[in-house]
Amino acid sequence: MLARIPWHVSLVGHALLLGVLVAGGFATFGAVPDPIPTHFDAAGNADAWSTKTLTNWLVQILLGPGILTVVFAGSAGLIRAVGSEVGEANTRAKLRHKVALKGQANALLSSGFLLSLVLGLAVPAATLGWNIPGWLILLGIFAACASIFVGMAQAHKNADRAYPRQEGEPRMLYGLLYYDPNDSRVMVSDELGANYQPNVATRGGKAIVYGFVAVMLIAMVVVFGQSFWAA
């Protein structure tokens, strides 16, 4: 789904979100406390403040979503540029790669919009005292970040459907993980030699993937644990 949303549609969504946040900033400025809380601990208590001005308030609610819009739009643009430089699409690998890159750009901007939406709601909510649990905000952030991986997997699966892999070609597990039992290399380059990835058919490749997943899970437990403990 995310990989099929055209990049320009998501970009319009980013622009509309920023516009809504600006309008909301003007509408809620009167209810903003003085001074303005600018940072919160794990329990949601303010521990830093700034002078109450309209400029400071708008900067506070636009900073996160604005940076994310620039980062994700720039990343999607770079991916599309790489896709246009793949060369003549005269092989199945190149055709598949072009489709995958197009889907990746779409997925990045779509996921970026979700993350911007979460931050765009979380900052005003915390500042205005809407009492949204910190763990719920963290859950939204993690879900939006997870959607990036889901979108990337969708992009590769769509590419494989468009140009199915022939016998002898390595397959991709979940649309993301290189798998070839006949290849003893732990790290392999992609079809066009642009990136390296682990071969999960090898023990070393499995260790890399499992290690990455373990680190992410530990980080989630620590962050959520701090939020619950502080609350």
Give the whole-angstrom CA distance, residue 181 versus residue 149. 24
Supply φ then ψ for residue 173, to 5 degrees: -75, 135
Report residues of the chain scoring pLDDT below 50.
Answer: none
Which pTM was predicted? 0.76
Q: Which helix (H) or strand (E) holds 179?
A: strand 177-179
Express each pLDDT in 163-222 by its tens digit.
Answer: 887 776 777 776 678 888 888 888 887 665 556 888 888 999 899 989 988 998 887 777
Supply φ then ψ for residue 147, to 5 degrees: -65, -25
Structural domain for 17, as ranges:
2-230
Note the pLDDT of residue 175. Answer: 66
Give the whole-angstrom CA distance, residue 52 versus residue 37. 9
Note the pLDDT of residue 228. Answer: 53
Number of domains in the chain: 1
Q: Which of 90, 72, 33, 83 is nearest to 56 (CA)?
A: 33
Give the whole-angstrom CA distance, residue 15 versus residue 202. 44
Note the pLDDT of residue 193. Answer: 55
Note the pLDDT of residue 183. Answer: 85
Give the whole-angstrom CA distance, residue 131 versus residue 150. 30
Tell me: cis bond preceding 35? Omega within 30 of 0 counts.
yes
Note the pLDDT of residue 99. Answer: 83
